[in-house]
């Protein structure tokens, strides 16, 4: 199976990756679904919708600050590094992620499309103000503040720059993702349940336009029925093995 996946990747002309929470599980970032998933103990309708934020911004902000802190301590794992390396090798053209954790960027991926936003970015609920707290160096100070965060430009409430349930995805990112999927002759799908739309269309588009689908996941997912190769394995282990084979093939 690994051999087959390595051959397909090495032979591909325009490969892309599509990732979800599972690729960061080995970096100790909790996933959403599955046995230890966040949505088992937390109700998304109370924490991750615009209505919830209007009703109780303190509760929503406490949840996001907790995640910011946890994710702020997380480091990329071998699977994130493997994707960055595949890009450097010229094999992978882009990583399209549903994750907000910034770990692909930390690992060195350059062409990164974030469909659901970024947890380290905040934006104003009234004006155009946006800030990346990691880049501005204000993350620690921001996490310590007990009051609700306010816009330095206009004083309105700030919100996390992530996509909540019921909200549209950032238009440019989604268009770029669809464009890449139409062009791709292979998609490497790693660690997603493949049940959240429109993101889950990405591998389907690749398949429908004649491309191959390689999936890495320790469990079956919504993508498994269309996978040409299914590596039933945690992301780090699968990607380490895959990289060994590919390096042998392209050398």
153 binds Zn ion, rule: CB under 5 A: yes
DSSP letter (8 states) at residue 93:
E
How many amino acids of this chain bind ligand OAD (CB under 6 A)? 26
C-alpha–C-alpha distance, residues 148 and 51, integer Å: 17
Region of 108 (left: φ > 0; alpha: ψ -120 to 50; beta: rest) is: left
165 Cβ neighbours under 8 A, 6+ residues apart: 44, 45, 48, 49
Q: Has 116 been annotated as catalytic?
A: yes
Q: Which CB, 93 or 159, lies closer to Zn ion?
A: 159
Token pair recorded at residue 151: 């816009």
The 173-212 site mask, x for binding ligand OAD (CB under 6 A), equals: ------------------xxx--x----------------
**Between 201-208 and 171-183, two packed helices, what is the crossing angle to 10 degrees?**
30
Ligand-binding annotation for 217, yes or no, is: yes
Catalytic residue among 42, 58, 80, 116: 116
77 binds ligand OAD, rule: CB under 6 A: no
25 binds ligand OAD, rule: CB under 6 A: yes
Smallest distance from ligand OAD to CB 20, Å: 3
Ligand-binding annotation for 200, yes or no, is: no
142 binds Zn ion, rule: CB under 5 A: no
C-alpha–C-alpha distance, residues 118 and 63, integer Å: 15
Smallest distance from ligand OAD to CB 196, Å: 4
143 binds, among ligand OAD, Zn ion, none (CB under 5 to 8 A by kind): none
Q: Which CB, 187 or 216, lies closer to ligand OAD?
A: 216
Ligand-binding annotation for 111, yes or no, is: no
Q: Which of 39, 40, 10 is nearest to 188 (CA)?
A: 10
Tokens 């905040």 correspond to what residue?
122
Ligand-binding annotation for 233, yes or no, is: no
- Contacts with ligand OAD in 79-108 (CB under 6 A)? 98
The 136-175 site mask, x for binding ligand OAD (CB under 6 A), equals: ---------------------------x------------
Q: What are phi and psi of 95, to 5 degrees?
A: -115, 120
The 10 Å Cβ neighbour count of residue 158 is 21
Ligand-binding annotation for 161, yes or no, is: no
Q: Give the CA angle between residues 59, 46, 192 to the nearest 5°.
A: 110
C-alpha–C-alpha distance, residues 250 and 192, integer Å: 28
Tokens 């998933």 correspond to what residue?
37
130 binds Zn ion, rule: CB under 5 A: no
Smallest distance from Zn ion to CB 176, Å: 27
Binding site for ligand OAD (CB under 6 A): 20-23, 25-26, 31-34, 37, 48, 98, 116, 163, 191-193, 196, 216-219, 221, 234-235
Report, as residue numbers or ranges, the catalytic residues: 116
């Amino acid at each position: 199976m690994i051999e087959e996946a390595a051959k397909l990747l090495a032979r591909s002309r325009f490969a892309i990756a599509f990732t979800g929470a599972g690729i960061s599980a080995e970096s100790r970032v909790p996933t959403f679904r599955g046995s230890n998933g966040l949505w088992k103990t937390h109700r998304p309708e109370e924490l991750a919708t615009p209505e919830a934020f209007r009703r109780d911004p303190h509760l929503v902000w406490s949840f996001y600050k907790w995640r910011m802190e946890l994710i702020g301590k997380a480091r990329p794992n071998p699977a994130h590094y493997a994707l960055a390396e595949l890009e450097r090798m010229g094999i992978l053209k882009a990583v399209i992620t549903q994750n907000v954790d910034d770990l692909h960027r930390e690992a060195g991926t350059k062409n990164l499309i974030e469909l659901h936003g970024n947890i380290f970015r905040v934006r104003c609920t009234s004006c155009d103000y946006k800030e990346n707290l990691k880049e501005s160096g204000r993350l620690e100070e921001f996490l310590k503040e007990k009051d609700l965060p306010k816009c330095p430009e206009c004083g309105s409430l700030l919100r996390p720059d992530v996509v909540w349930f019921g909200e549209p995805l950032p238009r440019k990112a989604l268009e770029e993702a669809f464009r890449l999927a139409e062009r791709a002759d292979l998609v490497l799908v790693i660690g997603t349940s493949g049940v959240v739309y429109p993101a889950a269309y990405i591998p389907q588009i690749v398949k429908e336009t004649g491309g191959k689908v390689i999936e890495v996941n320790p469990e079956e997912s919504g993508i498994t029925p269309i996978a040409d190769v299914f590596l039933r394995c945690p992301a780090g282990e699968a990607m380490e093995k895959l990289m060994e084979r590919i390096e042998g093939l392209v050398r």
